A and B are shown apart, each in its own frame.
Chain A
């Protein structure tokens, strides 16, 4: 199990978190159809590092961007996103 450091709550067990999608597959409202389709239906799916959107669903509910290695599960970086991340 991964120990995920929430930007708000500190290190917490993975059971408190849910995976949403990769960052590059978040479709912007003004994306053109071809780009939206690309983002919705394909993934780089690397056997290495990727940026993923996770949520501390069973905790403070903050959205997080996690840079994680897909083979070793090594977490390289975590940053908060959304209004919570504003100063």
Chain B
């Protein structure tokens, strides 16, 4: 497979760009693999890539029931940031953010990472205190954070309604300038191409229907394309974690809910960075095509439907318009929904399971996209060595039993109250 380069483009000038090859193969499944990864989203593909590139394990299959990147990888709002409060989350997401900064080079694929700044708005004195506390926590862990005054916020995002009688008055903000957005599909395609290049088999339209077990030990999977033997089996299916884990008799601390997002028609640049309001729970950014991408709360009841209810998008839109009144003049182009696996402390689960040779990566709630590189890196380490990487050790499945949850929002075991 050829390396993408400016020279390659130039070469195409002389042959009508006819030399391009498919970016990955479409192989038939083999009878056995060292590692079988269930789920061809960004996380699964990244895991396969790091298994092959870092750990030298190349006899790997990624099984995807639909098409790669067709689940939550293609359904998020593409935000990348590491502005959390707690240390395990700092360490994990900051490691990931540093990977994002040179991911395009690493994969030889432009993931269009754009660190345009992730701004959290504060709407009251209490909000500003919370933001200051969050910013301090980040800076203690060497993550960039800057508390902004009202005037600084107004200068940064002139479209915000800064009037004193605004529905949600803006008192200031906290910005992580290294945060931003990336091209979500390119992340899946880039990892797929890079993994395929190292010998990983990416098998699409192959749904796992059960586990093959000897005693308790998982030794393979039953799929719609036949039985596939596996040294180690890695669940990496986001919203469907509970469904797949149940095939091995596991019950997870996860409830599947719908998260929706929407995009408007494309317009000239009007939103400079990423605008977030944690008090309202509203996210606004502008895609490179010009569409305004918005997201809000999850639909707070269990669903596997991959489609949401209009009343929830209406709430998100109402908040976005209150913050940026000019948005009211735009037409909505699309809305969509993804199935998110809401964990019971709001933090992900990456690690071993009580079932031998079965591993789990899930519970990403509504924040999985930004974690893609770090998730793949640590999951690959866990799979290759049977022990968690220091970064994902705190995110083990057993933490709920130990009472050692990483509850960023401090709301207890209520996935529908996040």
Q: Count of chain A residues with Cβ under 8 Å from any Cβ of B?
A: 26
- Say whether A45 faces chain B, with CB atoms less than 8 Å apart: yes
Asked if A42 and B253 make an inter-chain contact with CB atoms under 8 angstroms apart, the answer reads: yes
Instruction: Please report the C-alpha to C-alpha distance between residue A22 and residue B415 in the assembled complex, in whole angstroms.
Output: 12
Asked if B401 and A37 make an inter-chain contact with CB atoms under 8 angstroms apart, the answer reads: yes
Also in contact, A19 and B301, with CB within 8 A (given A43-B251, A45-B252): yes
Asked if B302 and A1 make an inter-chain contact with CB atoms under 8 angstroms apart, the answer reads: no
Instruction: Please report the C-alpha to C-alpha distance between residue A71 and residue B253 in the assembled complex, in whole angstroms.
Output: 20
Contacting B at CB under 8 A, from A16-47, are: 18-22, 37-38, 40-47
Q: Count of chain B residues with Cβ under 8 Å from any Cβ of A?
A: 25
For the complex formed, measure the closest distance between the CB of B259 and the CB atoms of chain A, giving whole angstroms: 15
Instruction: Please report the C-alpha to C-alpha distance between residue A46 and residue B300 in the assembled complex, in whole angstroms.
Output: 16
Instruction: Please report the C-alpha to C-alpha distance between residue A14 and residue B310 in the assembled complex, in whole angstroms.
Output: 11
Asked if A41 and B344 make an inter-chain contact with CB atoms under 8 angstroms apart, the answer reads: yes
- Say whether B148 faces chain A, with CB atoms less than 8 Å apart: no
Also in contact, A1 and B309, with CB within 8 A (given A19-B300, A37-B401, A40-B413): yes
User: When each residue 1-18 of chain A gets 1 if its CB lies under 8 Å from chain B and 0 otherwise, what string results?
Assistant: 110000000000011001
Asked if B305 and A45 make an inter-chain contact with CB atoms under 8 angstroms apart, the answer reads: no
Instruction: Please report the C-alpha to C-alpha distance between residue A1 and residue B310 in the assembled complex, in whole angstroms.
Output: 7
- Say whether B246 faces chain A, with CB atoms less than 8 Å apart: yes
Instruction: Please report the C-alpha to C-alpha distance between residue A84 and residue B404 in the assembled complex, in whole angstroms.
Output: 39
Asked if A42 and B304 make an inter-chain contact with CB atoms under 8 angstroms apart, the answer reads: no
Instruction: Please report the C-alpha to C-alpha distance between residue A73 and residue B404 in the assembled complex, in whole angstroms.
Output: 35
**Residues of chain A lying within 8 A (CB to CB) of residue B243:** 45-47
Residue of B nearest to A71 (CB): B304
Asked if A47 and B251 make an inter-chain contact with CB atoms under 8 angstroms apart, the answer reads: no
Looking at the complex, which one of A14, A15, A19, A41 makes contact with B302 (CB distance below 8 Å)? A19
User: When each residue 297-312 of chain B gets 1 if its CB lies under 8 Å from chain A and 0 otherwise, what string results?
Assistant: 0001111110001110
Residue of A nearest to B244 (CB): A47
Looking at the complex, which one of A14, A50, A72 makes contact with B309 (CB distance below 8 Å)? A14
For the complex formed, measure the closest distance between the CB of A60 and the CB atoms of chain B, giving whole angstroms: 19
User: When each residue 62-76 of chain A gets 1 if its CB lies under 8 Å from chain B and 0 otherwise, what string results?
Assistant: 000000001111000
For the complex formed, measure the closest distance between the CB of B351 and the CB atoms of chain A, giving whole angstroms: 16
Asked if B311 and A15 make an inter-chain contact with CB atoms under 8 angstroms apart, the answer reads: yes
Instruction: Please report the C-alpha to C-alpha distance between residue A72 and residue B416 in the assembled complex, in whole angstroms.
Output: 20
User: When each residue 186-203 of chain B gets 1 if its CB lies under 8 Å from chain A and 0 otherwise, what string results?
Assistant: 000000000000000000
Also in contact, A71 and B302, with CB within 8 A (given A19-B416, A43-B252, A45-B254): no
Which residue, of A14, A20, A21, A50, has the highest number of chain B Cβ atoms within 10 A?
Answer: A21
Asked if B302 and A50 make an inter-chain contact with CB atoms under 8 angstroms apart, the answer reads: yes
Instruction: Please report the C-alpha to C-alpha distance between residue A84 and residue B251 in the assembled complex, in whole angstroms.
Output: 33
For the complex formed, measure the closest distance between the CB of A58 and the CB atoms of chain B, giving whole angstroms: 12
Asked if B305 and A41 make an inter-chain contact with CB atoms under 8 angstroms apart, the answer reads: no
- Say whether B255 faces chain A, with CB atoms less than 8 Å apart: yes
Given contacts A37-B401, A46-B242, 5 further A-B contacts (CB under 8 A): A1-B310, A19-B302, A43-B253, A45-B242, A71-B304
B interface residue numbers (CB < 8 A to A): 240, 242-243, 246, 251-256, 300-305, 309-311, 344, 400-401, 413-414, 416
The 7 closest A-B pairs by CB, nearest first: A45-B242, A19-B301, A41-B400, A42-B251, A47-B243, A41-B253, A47-B304
Please, could you name 14 A-B residue pairs with CB atoms under 8 Å apart, sorted by A?
A19-B302, A19-B416, A38-B251, A41-B413, A42-B251, A43-B242, A43-B254, A44-B246, A45-B255, A46-B246, A47-B242, A50-B302, A52-B301, A70-B303
